[in-house]
Amino acid sequence: MTMKRRIFISNTVIVLFSLLILLGLGGVIVGLFKNEFMNIIEQKSQIAAHNYEVQGILQSAGDYNGDWNALSDALAAYDYELYVSDSNQNELYSNIRHSEWECISELEKSSFDSEQVVLYSMENVTIAKEKILKGEESTYIYAAYYPKEASILGMDRGIFDMFIIVFVVAGVLAILGLLLCSQIFTNMLIRKVLVPVEELRLAAKRIEEGNFDENIEYNKDDEFLEVCTAFNNMQQHLKEGVEQSAAYEKARTDMISGISHDLRTPLTSVKGYIKGLKDGIANTPEKQEQYLDTAYRKACDMDILLQKLFYFSKLETGNMPFFKQRIDFTTWIASYTENRRGEWEQQNLQVALETDHHEHPVYIDSEQMKRVFDNVIDNSIKYSDRDNLHVWIKVSGHDGKVLIQIKDNGKGTDSDKLGHLFELFYRGDESRNSKKEGSGLGLYICRHIVEQHGGTINAANDNGFTISIELSEK
């Protein structure tokens, strides 16, 4: 069942049920009053007193010569009321009430030939009837008595019956009117509710079809505005997630292709040199040593690449622990450069360290921070395109921060690529020659480690390529 039908049915049932209860209570009250009224009628149903005196007045009615007011006054002394009609039942005079008129109208339907006054008792009404003949014309005189005790709430039976009829008719009309109003307001409510619901349905359909560009346009200031705004925000997040996922998938595909190449190149070299040894091509001790050194170096390159992949996997799964401790960064960076200097010299790399000779206490994981500097310097080696590469490491402090700059004398990188260098699997140089065998993981790992230490990292071109790292002093 649709929401529209549910709202319609529930609202109609609520209104109709309420009206039926109201009508039922009204019926019970009317029934109680009617029973009380009928009890009074049964208790008072008897011929009125002074009927002898009233009969005498009616017998002498001809002496009044048509002065019906005088006759009415004479009857009023005994609480009787007067009604006079001709032979055609045309009213000549009347001061009777509704209940009395109903009884008299019943008597007029029957023939009356008596020459004496006749008494009737009908529905608690006492009626004395007399016929006066003048020539061929007949005049009918009715004296009616209705006891005050037989009325209820000031109403006689006829008025009370009319009240019941009016009450029922008015109740039915009220129910119909309220049901009509209920349907009108229900339809208005349905339209008000279903317009944003329909917009949400269409928006969800668009998302299902892959359309994330069209937002819900809803400007009314009500509860649905917040829902539609939240839906638009969710759609924007989904769009960004889909775009990021697509970029991630492309980068992952490129990385797999690149890693396959990066692994195949050294592996091919290792196989070639080993085959040269087996086939006797390296027939001197010097050549054999050279072949073995080259094969070992290529195997080390593959090991480094596999280590990066393993490290990346641990980062992505959240299984990389950080063991931070408070150390002086100036002392730490001096120790790091000194320990790496021999290795750098073998790679024809000159590294200069410059500090402000102040202590800069920081909370860092030494092993993880070493990986940052290793990756940054390795990136300079791969992409500087310089045979005589120089790297400067500068450490300074300001406003409770430690600023580390790692700068080389290479050619730098294109300015439009600077904002992407720290993205996952991004490689600034798409060509894959033997010297630029990057995986697109190194700088991404650096950013992740620095951010885990509450710091920032960015890249710039400044007569070479510069990486800037900022950490908070503790």
* Residue written as token pair 């549910």: 6
The predicted structure's pLDDT at residue 470: 95
* Cα–Cα distance list, 157 to 37, 109, 122, 127, 410 (Å): 8, 21, 12, 16, 116
Contact 183, 15 (CB under 8 A): no
The predicted structure's pLDDT at residue 434: 41
Q: What share of the chain is helix, strand, coil (3-state, %, to 5)?
A: 55, 20, 25
Q: Locate 164 and state its tokens.
A: 């019941």
Q: Locate 296 and state its tokens.
A: 């070992």
CA 12 – CA 255 distance, rounded (Å): 64
DSSP code for 329: H
The predicted structure's pLDDT at residue 469: 94
State the amino acid at position 283 in one-letter form.
N
Cross-strand bridge partners of residue 144: 81, 127
* DSSP-derived pairing of the beta strands 118-122 and 125-134: antiparallel
Q: Locate 165 and state its tokens.
A: 């009829």
The predicted structure's pLDDT at residue 394: 95
CA 359 – CA 322 distance, rounded (Å): 23
Give Cβ neighbours of residue 469 (< 8 Å, ≥ 6 apart).
Answer: 372, 403, 404, 405, 406, 450, 455, 456, 457
The predicted structure's pLDDT at residue 440: 67
Contact 107, 120 (CB under 8 A): yes
The predicted structure's pLDDT at residue 32: 62
Contact 305, 439 (CB under 8 A): yes
* Cα–Cα distance list, 44 to 49, 128, 148, 200, 374 (Å): 12, 18, 10, 73, 119
Q: Which of 244, 189, 236 is nearest to 211 (CA)?
A: 236
3-state secondary structure of 171: helix
Domains and CATH numbers, the chain: 51-146 (3.30.450.20), 321-472 (3.30.565.10)
The predicted structure's pLDDT at residue 386: 77
* Cα–Cα distance list, 43 to 31, 37, 40, 47 (Å): 18, 10, 5, 12
CA 138 – CA 263 distance, rounded (Å): 136
Helix 223-278 vs helix 285-316: crossing angle, to nearest 10: 160
Task: Identify the H or E element spanning 354.
Answer: strand 349-355
Average pLDDT for runs of 10 along the chain of length 474:
63 72 68 56 53 85 86 88 88 84 81 79 81 83 78 54 72 76 74 77 86 82 81 88 79 68 75 84 84 84 76 68 90 92 86 91 91 89 82 92 92 82 66 49 86 91 90 90
* DSSP-derived pairing of the beta strands 349-355 and 137-145: unpaired
CA 393 – CA 251 distance, rounded (Å): 31
Give Cβ neighbours of residue 437 (< 8 Å, ≥ 6 apart).
Answer: 261, 262, 265, 301, 305, 382
Task: Identify the H or E element spanning 127.
Answer: strand 125-134
Task: Identify the H or E element spanning 256.
Answer: helix 223-278
The predicted structure's pLDDT at residue 222: 72
